[in-house]
Amino acid sequence: MSAISEGVHKSAVLLMALEEDDAATLMSRLPAKQVELVSLAIAQMEEVPGETQEQVIQEFLGGQTSSITHAAGGLDRAKTLVKKAFGKDASEMLNMLQQTIESLPFAFLQKEDPQNILSFILDEHPQTIAVVISHVPPATGAAILNGLPQQKQLAVIRRIAEMGQTNPDAIEEIERALAVRLSMVSSQSFRKAGGVPAVAEILNVTDRATERLVLDSLNKESPELVEDIRRLMFVFEDISKLGDKDIQTLLKNVETSQWAMALKGASPALQEKIMRNMSQRAAEILKEEMEFLGKVKVSEVEGVQQKIVDVVRSLEEMGQLSRPSSTAEEEFVS
């Protein structure tokens, strides 16, 4: 697989950062060959960090700054942009894109869990591992590399750095062997089960006495595990399930500036419920603060939301509010 040029990579990052309609409009003005290359680049990138986007956008805008989080890519995103950009004339480009993706070496690994890939290549020669990592998305390659023993990591990195043109027959041989081994395991239809999310889901539907007994017992041996479970048992949007009296108690313990940030990423129903429990003037001030914030990073919003969730849990432990169980009847909003 030929490496994506820096210019094509930057173009793909820029299109991923834009709103779909804007990105499609821009794509429709590119030459057909460039559309093919950029679409392929987008299809091969699942996510782009906010810092990378900012660098590309600043370069594009001549140094202006922006505040963004991350952009989603992948084959579906690439197909969507092509469809919007070319409408009825998109079929030929879509077919070309699909065929190109399918013909790439190790195409069957593009969506595979990195841990699954790692389990099959862990004992392979560093050169074989280097070939595989060089043909999967960067995030997948990084996850595989992180799972290797340190000594083998260095050997693999060195071989990737020194890798030039790889013999196509060698690539096909590695690809064929790995595809057969993966297909044998996939046919057994293993599914992920258990884990912290499963515990949180179970405790969410138990009565409060059982919940406290389990968590108190776990807390004696692993307080970190209990903290992880608690965080998944009650999320920010669940605040909408609180009664008005409990909402008002919560409002007294959270700053308006925190609500402004947290509600930027909340559903309209939750926003309405919070403001309904405020005075008209306080609600107006909150709306003004939310508008003043403009665009904010998702990570910042989620950070403040988690702080408010922690306040809910603290107030519950002190007996100042009652967090509803998932089986409790939810109140209706007229």
Q: Is residue 1 part of a domain?
A: no
If asked whether residues 243 and 333 sit together in one domain, one would say yes
Q: Is residue 208 part of a domain?
A: yes
> Of 130, 162, 186, which residue constitutes the final position of a domain?
186
If asked whether residues 144 and 239 sit together in one domain, one would say no
Q: What angle do CA 100, 160, 4 make, to 5 degrees?
A: 35
- CATH number at 307 reads 1.10.220.30
If asked whether residues 67 and 162 sit together in one domain, one would say no
Largest CA distance in the chain: 72
CA distance linking residue 210 with residue 213, whole number of Å: 5
Domain containing 131: what range?
107-186
| DSSP letter (8 states) at residue 263 | G
- CATH number at 227 reads 1.20.5.2020
Ordered per-residue pLDDT tens for the chain, 334 residues = 344 566 777 777 777 777 777 777 877 777 777 777 777 777 766 666 666 666 766 676 654 444 444 455 555 666 676 677 667 666 766 666 555 555 565 666 666 778 878 887 888 888 888 888 877 777 778 888 888 888 888 888 888 887 766 667 777 777 777 777 666 555 444 445 567 777 777 776 666 677 778 888 888 888 888 888 877 777 788 898 889 999 999 999 999 999 999 998 888 999 999 999 999 999 999 999 999 988 888 888 888 988 898 888 788 878 888 766 544 444 444 4
pTM metric for this prediction? 0.39
Q: Is residue 52 part of a domain?
A: yes
Fill in the amino acid letter for 103.
Answer: S
Q: Is residue 95 part of a domain?
A: yes
* Number of domains, the chain: 4
> Of 186, 203, 224, which residue constitutes the final position of a domain?
186
CA terminus-to-terminus distance, the chain: 58
Both structure tokens of 261? 């940030």
